Amino acid sequence: MSETDHRHRRALVLALLWISVALVVAGLAAGSDGWSLVPRLDAGPEWLAIVGQIRAPRTLGAWLAGALLGLSGAIAQGLFRNPLADPYLLGSAAGASLAVVLVLAAGALTDPGLRHAAGWLVEVGVVAAAFAGALGGMVLTLLLARGASQTTRLLLAGVVVGVMLTAVNDLVTTAVPQALRGRQGFMLGNTAFLGWTSVAWLAAGLGFVAPLGWRLSRALDALALGEDSARSLGLDLPWVRGGLVAALALATGLAVSQAGLIAFVGLVAPHLVRRFAPAPHGFSLLASAATGGVLLLAADVLARSLIAPQELPVGILTAILGGGYLLHLLRKQGSRT
């Protein structure tokens, strides 16, 4: 590693650290009544409750959800050796959306007999259903692809599963239109309901997936050289791919279950890391996680502040900002050719 590369990586780490701290402060200050870190004289104990029970868990939860998406995006791009791969590539988005719609549709049933029969589904809850649906979509993809031994077949299976589950999703919302509004809110992403329980789950997931990704990062470096080169280095490719898919599934499932479908964070975060500080996958995975946290937390603060006291869905902002960045890259690359 050259001194220039080392300097770039150190600068990126420091920048991510300071930006994260600044955004956490902004997240604690941003509210429906404007920005304030110092309570008014007439605020009373309610101000502390708002900061401690609403703003603080939402701020930390947004950073953690973004970190999981950034990490899973870096894993997906390394596993498929495709810079356009994102965390939702293997059917997790469609599976989570379908599970949420089933729960909402079960709760919206008006027939008492049908409602009683679907009572267990209502009790599952949207969060648990989204997590199970995301994992279920990936499991279905793995079954259709007959494991994770071939990335091309796995990628095609993910596309097929996504189309099929989306069709079933549309069928359910056609039959029970009351579920459409809840589905739309889930598809747009929302950090407003993140609490301390969500923070605990997200932190536990990141604490498990990040070390697993670090352990498998050398395998990703080897896969970047080609499968034949990876085999010559003694890698057990089916086991490696299985571990990477498991990490991808867990990180994506947790983020989706707590914050809904957040667009572009998992796709853009690894791109930013590679652009400013190219590095082996060990550094890139962790830096992509931190970058994803910064991106989603920044979008969350903007979503709270732009039209306060109302809020924008955070997924809309990530889609606009992330899509704009990718369009800028395409235009820049096109001008060079």
CATH number of the domain encompassing residue 184 = 1.10.3470.10
- Tokens 């648990």, located at residue: 128
Q: Which amino acid is at 31?
A: G
| pLDDT, position 43 | 56
Q: Which residues pair with 35 in a beta bridge?
A: 30
pLDDT tens digits along 133-178: 888 898 899 888 887 767 788 888 888 999 999 999 889 888 888 7
- List residues bridging with 34 in a β-sheet: 31
Tokens of 311: 């809020």
List phi, psi (to 5°) of 8: -65, -40
Query: How many structural domains is the chain composed of?
Result: 1
Q: Is 4 exposed, middle or buried (0-12, 13-18, 19+ CB in 10 A)?
A: exposed
CA–CA distance, 124 with 126 (Å, rounded to integer): 7
Q: How far apart are CA 62 and CA 298, in angstroms?
A: 9
Phi, psi of 49 (to 5 degrees): -65, -40
Answer whether 287's CB lies under 8 Å from 16's CB. yes
45 contacts: CB under 8 Å, gap ≥ 6: none
CA-based R_g, the chain, Å: 21
Question: Which of the residues in the chain have pLDDT under 50?
Answer: 41-42, 110-111, 113-123
Residue 171: which domain range?
A: 3-336
Asked whether 206 and 123 are in contact (CB, 8 A), the reply is no
Provide the 8-state DSSP code for 310.
Answer: S
Q: What is the pLDDT of residue 1?
A: 58
